[in-house]
C-alpha cells in the first residue's frame, strides 16, 4: 500500500547550513533513497523549493485568487516528500524515521486512499 511521507523541516535553518553541511545531508538522503529503492519501498520522492517560493490558488465566488506563499503557516514547512510502498503504516513510519529530516523536523505519514477504504 502507498503512503505519502511529508517532510517538515525549518527551511531557514536549511538555507543557513554551510555547503559542506548541506552536502553531507544530501549524501544521507542519497543513502536513504538507495536503501528504500533497493528494498522496493520507494515509489517517488522530491525536494521542494522553500515555502517562500510557493503560490496558492483558490477560487472564491467564481474568481481565481492567487496569493504568494504556502496554504498554511507552519512552524516547520513542507520541504519535500516521498511516496512509499509498504505493508502497513507501522512499516511506513519505521521507514520514514530514517529520513534525515526526522532528526531536525518531523515526517507526517499519510496513507493513500485505496478504493474500498473509508
3 state DSSP class of 66? strand
94 binds other proteins (CB under 8 A): yes
- Which of 29, 33, 89, 91 is in the footprint of other proteins by CB under 8 A? 89
Q: Are 36 and 42 in contact (CB under 8 A)?
A: yes
Question: In terms of CB distance, is 4 or 41 closer to other proteins?
Answer: 4
Task: Give the span between the Cα atoms of 69 and 11, in whole angstroms.
Answer: 14
Closest distance of CB 33 from other proteins, Å: 14
**Dist CA 24 CA 54 (whole Å):** 26
Residue 34 lies near other proteins (rule: CB under 8 A): no
Which of 18, 19, 40, 55: binder of other proteins (CB under 8 A)? 55
According to the binding rule CB under 8 A, does residue 4 interact with other proteins? yes
Q: Of 77, 82, 104, give the one whose Cα is nearest residue 93.
A: 82
Choice from 33, 56, 86, 87 touching other proteins (CB under 8 A): 56
Which residues neighbour 37 within 8 Å (Cβ) at sequence distance 6 or greater?
A: none
Question: Is residue 57 a contact residue for other proteins (CB under 8 A)?
Answer: yes
Q: How many CB atoms lie within 10 A of CB 12?
A: 12
Of 12-20, 32-40, 97-105, the segment contacting other proteins by CB under 8 A is 97-105
Amino acid at each position: 500500500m502507498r503512503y505519502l511521507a511529508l517532510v517538515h523541516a525549518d527551511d531557514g535553518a536549511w538555507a543557513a547550513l554551510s555547503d559542506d553541511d548541506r552536502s553531507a545531508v544530501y549524501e544521507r538522503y542519497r543513502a536513504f533513497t538507495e536503501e528504500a529503492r533497493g528494498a522496493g519501498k520507494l515509489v517517488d520522492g522530491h525536494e521542494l523549493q522553500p515555502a517562500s517560493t510557493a503560490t496558492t490558488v483558490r477560487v472564491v465566488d467564481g474568481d481565481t485568487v492567487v496569493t504568494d506563499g504556502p496554504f498554511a503557516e507552519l512552524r516547520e514547512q513542507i520541504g519535500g516528500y516521498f511516496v512509499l510502498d509498504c505493508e502497513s503504516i507501522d512499516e511506513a513510519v519505521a521507514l520514514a524515521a530514517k529520513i534525515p529530516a526526522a532528526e531536525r523536523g518531523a515526517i507526517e505519514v499519510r496513507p493513500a486512499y485505496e478504493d474500498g477504504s473509508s
